[in-house]
Amino acid sequence: MIPNKNISEIVRFGISGVAGFVVDAGIVLLVTREFGLGPIVAQVIAFTVAVTVTWIINRHWTFAEHASENWLHEWTRYVAANSVGAAVNNGIYGLLVLTLTMFSTNPVIAVAAGSLAGMVFNFTSSKLVVFKPSPS
């Protein structure tokens, strides 16, 4: 059984992820449509902003009791961990659509699988590496 505190953290982390997605998608849309930049450049900009937004939310809400006084070091660890999580997300997606017909004909299912894998990785690395409890 998962303790209530962990469930609360998972829910908060999920809400933070939804906020990050809205920021990410909104910036990609804005930068590609209004500034005429390509989608790759737009995503680099959007990811940087979105990961910072989710770090702020998780720092002050999800894992507030474990936030570090050294916010720059914490932010750097968070960006690094979430960059690996993004690679996990996209790697799972790519693996599924390139190897199994079910996913290549229904890529939204692969998006869901990749997103879930990325979220699990990001939650675990955030909890155990970025916002780890101080040793007692």
pLDDT band at 134; cut points 50, 70, 90: confident
In tens, the pLDDT along 88-113 reads 999 999 999 999 999 999 899 999 99
> How many structural domains are present in the chain?
1
Q: Quick one: average pLDDT of 75-79?
A: 97
Indicate whether 103 belongs to any domain. Answer: yes
The answer to whether residue 117 is domain-embedded is yes
Determine the length of the chain.
136
* In a domain? residue 135: no
Domain that holds residue 49: 4-130
Task: Provide CB contacts within 8 A for 51, sequence distance 6+.
Answer: 20, 78, 79, 82, 83
| Range 25-51 average pLDDT | 94
Q: What per-residue confidence (pLDDT) applies to 125?
A: 97
Average of per-residue pLDDT across 81-87: 96
Residue 124 located in a structural domain = yes
pLDDT at 135: 72
Predicted pLDDT of residue 113? 95
